[in-house]
Amino acid sequence: MERKNIWTSYSQQELEKLEAINADYRNCLDRGKTERECVRLTVERIEAQGYRNLDDLKKSPQTLKPGDKVYAVCMDKTIAMFQIGKKPLQEGMNILGAHIDSPRIDVKQNPLYEDEDMAYLDTHYYGGIKKYQWVTLPLAIHGVVAMKDGAVQEICIGEKEDDPVFVITDLLIHLAGQQMEKKASKVVEGENLDLLIGSRPIDQDESLDEKEKKAVKANVLHLLKEYYHMEEEDFASAELEIVPAGKARECGLDRSMILAYGQDDRVCAFTSLFAMLDVEAPERTACCLLVDKEEIGSVGATGMQSRFFENTVAELIALTDGESELKVRRALQNSKMLSSDVSAAFDPLYAEAFEKRSAAFFGSGLVYNKFTGSRGKSGSNDASAEYLARVRRVMDEAGVAYQFAELGKVDIGGGGTIAYIMGNYGMEVIDSGVAVLNMHAPWEASSKADVYEAYKGYCAFLEKMS
């Protein structure tokens, strides 16, 4: 199958729209480095376009009609948006599903300690990472601290120009002879990913005893209390994520790419959001679902395996056709979905890991994966041929550039998405997304052209899939 580089096909008007979409995308990446931040940003944008919170509608029940826009949030980490279509909900929805969690490093619940006049936060990495990639980088802390009195303190340190940043240290090359002989998986151990956060003892004039006056840890606690009204015990009810500090940047002399943290899978999440905001008067109910916990198996209350989405659809059925368990099942089974997750872009420097005929390429458009999983398609959804044909027709009619790919060679590659979970309802699902270089690294790269084609493809799917 011939792949074309789509940059040469754009008119000046299309290039201007492409740049506008990518500028908005970079802004969203900067504002949404955690699941909570992504949900907060999403709510802000959709409420500005008339979306109403489903919780408010349930308090004073009313019949939803075509064109109505509603959303539901689960624990501030997962969000589902709906624009009611002209057809009954039980005839199915067109669903864009992506995840908004990304590989990172989390702070433990009893993390703060001092060792040789240096203060650290103990950590536990989240998702699949190459641990050695996270050392010696400027890092930021994002998250919340929930107090016993019910107050929730937002934390974001390391993103402003005048903010301090943090670092995970590494052994200098002069002393690293034995370290360099280790396997890559052992060069940096998980227990050595602790974050250096201070080295200055508390000021001598503080009202502490002589031992505490020299403590670096005491100084850190003093600052936490001063700026965030936080005691050491409050770490127990905190969710603090360590992520690369810094903004998304244009990449390349030609500015054709984006380099940023968290593009897996926010490149699909934000382009899905953009498409959802632009859809008008859909025939079938349009849905955009942004979920948590995909990187660790879609488990937990905010993951795709929870009942949140199913329960939300049940609430919508109650507000449209009246309560009916059967109609809920029909709505789910009759739905069509793009499970929007990134794919691995072909990297000529590591060509041996790819089967070139079945690889995704930068600048060749939206990527479709008929199946994911690993090796013998383990954990795969494996979309039907008939559904692929309908997707192809919709994309061709809308002039969307797209390609089909697999994630690496058969015996090497593999990965999971949320597709198989939604497939359990009997709905038609296929994986689609953007090709990314450096996937799961602190900084990932994508093509602006592919970001734009993803947006176009998601718009076409919401409006035209039947």
Task: State the pLDDT at residue 214.
Answer: 64
pLDDT digits over 7-23, tens only?
999 999 999 999 999 99
Angle at 442 between CA 171 and CA 430, to 5 degrees: 145
Q: Note the CATH number of domain 6-102+261-464.
A: 3.40.630.10
Q: What is the 3-state secondary structure (H, E, C) of the chain?
A: CCCCCHHHHCCHHHHHHHHHHHHHHHHHHHHCCCHHHHHHHHHHHHHCCCCEEHHHHHHCCCCCCCCCEEEEEECCCEEEEEECCCCCHHHCEEEEEEECCCCEEEEEEEEEEECCCCEEEEEEEECCCCHHHHCCCCEEEEEEEECCCCCEEEEEECCCCCCCCEECCCCCHHHCHHHHCCCHHHHCCHHHCCEEEECCCCCCCCCCCHHHHCCHHHHHHHHHHHHHCCCHHHHHHEEEEEEECCCCEEECCCCCEEEECCHHHHHHHHHHHHHHHHCCCCCCEEEEEEECCHHHCCCCCCCCCCCHHHHHHHHHHHHHCCCCHHHHHHHHHCCEEEEECCEEECCHHHHHHCCHHHCECCCCCEEEECCCEECCCECCCCCCHHHHHHHHHHHHHCCCCEEECCCCCCCCCEECCCHHHHHCCCCEEEEEECEEECCCCCCEEEEHHHHHHHHHHHHHHHHHCC
Task: State the pLDDT at residue 207.
Answer: 55
Domain segments of the chain as ranges: 6-102+261-464, 104-244
Give the count of alpha carbons within 13 A of 138, CB side only.
Answer: 11
Q: How many CB atoms lie within 10 A of CB 185?
A: 10
pLDDT digits over 91-126, tens only?
999 999 999 999 999 999 999 999 999 999 999 999
Task: State the pLDDT at residue 416.
Answer: 75
Task: State the pLDDT at residue 410.
Answer: 81
Angle between helix axes 325-333 and 308-320 (nearest 10 degrees) is: 120
Asked if 106 and 295 touch (Cβ cutoff 8 Å), the reply is no
Task: State the pLDDT at residue 409.
Answer: 82
pLDDT digits over 308-322, tens only?
999 999 999 999 988
Task: State the pLDDT at residue 205.
Answer: 59
For residues 437 and 252, what is the distance between their CA atoms, to the nearest angstrom?
13
Query: Exposed (0-12), middle (13-18) or buried (19+): which is 161, by Cβ within 10 Å?
Result: exposed
Q: Whose CA is closest to 132, among 190, 60, 214? A: 190
Same CATH topology for 6-102+261-464 and 104-244: the answer is: no
Task: State the pLDDT at residue 19.
Answer: 98
The parts of the chain modelled with pLDDT lower than 50 are none
pLDDT digits over 53-74, tens only?
999 998 887 889 999 999 999 9
Task: State the pLDDT at residue 118.
Answer: 96
In CATH, the architecture of 104-244 is Roll (2.30)
Task: State the pLDDT at residue 1.
Answer: 61
